[in-house]
Structure 1
Amino acid sequence: MYKYGFQNYFEADFTAFYPEVMTSGHWINVYLNFEFSKDTILPADLIDPSALVVFDLDGEVQDFIVHDEGVDSDYKFTDNEKKKMLNFITQQKLI
């Protein structure tokens, strides 16, 4: 993850995902809480990160949003983190 302006960059090592899937109108929202490896050190301004992955009804990814304490944050996911989440969602057939 990294903060806007490419500040506080780190690569999160997810060890577990806890999904919740909700359909709302034309969107499928996958909320992911996760656990990190002991080697993942969060920046001081990132308290309780989670993810919202938004899909359209055809199953195409529209956005990956970093939440902190349940609301949008100034952080973004790296391409590698997005790939790990998408692989989990696909393997678990959540979409």
Structure 2
Amino acid sequence: MEGVTEGRMVHYVLPESRVFGKGQHRPAIIVNAHGGKLEGGRANLIVFLDCTNDFDLDVNGVPALIMWANSVSYSDDHESGTWHWPERL
């Protein structure tokens, strides 16, 4: 898939958010694009979360600020658990 390289900013669609429910878009950085060789534009992402709006505190009382999303597929339809290019304003 063209343009899928490490360091690019994308949007990840959360499967679930504690406050807002599923389908929320969060910014993410591609950390491994597998050389663009995987089907479906799959890539590994670091996703930036909206603190406790997305997930509860962990067992130590620490809010989640980022999450690892492994081998995530691209989707033009913004399906839950996929990534897409940021929408243009």
| TM, length-normalised to structure 1 | 0.35
Q: Which has the higher contact order (CA 8 A, sep 6+)?
A: 2
Higher strand proportion: 1
